[in-house]
Structure 1
């Protein structure tokens, strides 16, 4: 079995690399590498061929777990996978963890990363990730890497989300969360210029997230499927936001921020707008058509305040 001084949780990847098989970690382990403080569960690993990879791990002590249905998190899936349990803990390590025979003081807690856990092998092609660039003969990248580049990770997650069956809400939510975590915790994704590192058909997705859309919602995902197809057909031009006038794609908080940044169409009334009045207006923005265009006349504002009272 391969011996590696890095995180023992990722030991299956090192074993596969020792056999010339490129692979990368996926889901929680992948986003955690980019600063997301997520809890890790099963170790998901993308490989080119799950059958060959499974045989390599079995030959090195892993045990194949029979399963009738694939599973990602709490979602049942039709995607192919092979689930394996790690080798039993080495008896020598187990012996070292016991208290010394001449003292009742237990050993201190281990500061080492968690050891191998259940490994779930996934075909990279099913998750829209191109492993060819990690092949041993490719001198441009190191075959020893186990973490996907952030652009490749985001590209693959976006495609996986938009390709996800619409009737599998649990899986759709699982993937959407991975993307949301990355945007929340990876500073590089707050740069509009990062879009240049993404596939062309995903650049509008990036712009729309940065514009404040409530990404991860069913309306947003449906909208982005249409946008991706339009970009593929070259019938859509990239813009700062693809649907600024669609209230269903923005949260109420974001709508308030957008309106707060707009020019006041009634400067002569500004002294009459108390802070609480302003928030009262924002709380009832859904009663106005064309939110992004502001109010059309003072009477609209009065009607809204009376309805919200």
Structure 2
């Protein structure tokens, strides 16, 4: 979390006055979840505008190989994200042996995934923080898991995030937190806070029906 080079893409977007928030594992780790960081995920209003600004600074669009292993990105609409490689990207780097001392290790920037704010149902208007407000993150993840097709990599991944949030992030359990969420997500949150299963397919289907009925009323 403390590697400054990891967030260079975010700083490029800031210098170009492009609203952005760091998302998924980095944001979850910011709020105290125990997680490992791989790709960097950033939400922006327009992935085309953001990708263009980054390409002018040396980032390149990533073209996955034909037989790349499926991931949760495979379940997203292609128009909702863009993958880029940083200027210092090295494919399959050869690690020195014996390993270098920690103070000599050069940290490389990770692969970048730009997400559309529309897909995650978030608004970046007025946001000045590198990381999203906790209520924005929770609202978005709940909405996304209820909207995701059952049994997909995306739904499983979101389920892992949500389970970890409710078990590891203490502010979610504050009695006043629910009021900051969308009314349609509060029932899901109430069950999650109280230790009920919320991320199995039957549980998601029940939560989805409750949300849809509340929205219709």
Tell me the TM-score normalized by structure 1: 0.61
Displacement, 1:116?
Answer: 1.4
Which protein is bigger by CA-based radius of gyration?
1
Q: Deviations over 1:26-84 (max 9, x none)?
A: 11111011111111111111111111111111110111112489x99823223232111
1:66 to 63, 66, 73: 63
Give the Cα separation in 2 of the matches to 1:219 and 1:115.
41
Q: Which has the higher contact order (CA 8 A, sep 6+)?
A: 2
Task: Give the superposition deviation at 1:221.
Answer: 0.5
Is 1:110 matched with 2:103?
Answer: yes
Cα distance in 1 between the residues matched to 2:177 and 2:149: 28
Instruction: Report how far residue 162 of structure 1 moved.
Output: 0.6
Give 5+ residue unaligned stretches, structure 1. Answer: 90-97, 99-104, 135-141, 235-309
Contact 1:86 1:118 in 2 (8 A): yes
Per-residue CA deviations over 1:134-158 (Å, capped at 9, x if unaligned) read: 3xxxxxxx2xx21001000000111
Q: In the aligned structure 2, how far is the partner of 1:118 from the partner of 1:232?
A: 38
Q: 1:149 aligns with which of 125, 130, 133?
A: 133
TM-score by length of 2: 0.85
| SS of residue matched to 1:45 | strand
- Do residues 210 (structure 1) and 199 (structure 2) align? no
Q: 1:232 to 1:68 in 2, by over 3 A?
A: farther
Write the deviation string for residues 211-253 of structure 1: whole angstroms up to 9, x where unpaired: 331121111100111111122123xxxxxxxxxxxxxxxxxxx
CA distance in 1, matches of 2:214, 2:64: 39
Aligned-residue CA RMSD (Å): 2.7
Cross-structure match for 2:92: none
Q: Which sits farther off after the overlay, 203-212 or 72-81?
A: 72-81
Partners of 1:50 and 1:223 lie apart in 2 by: 34
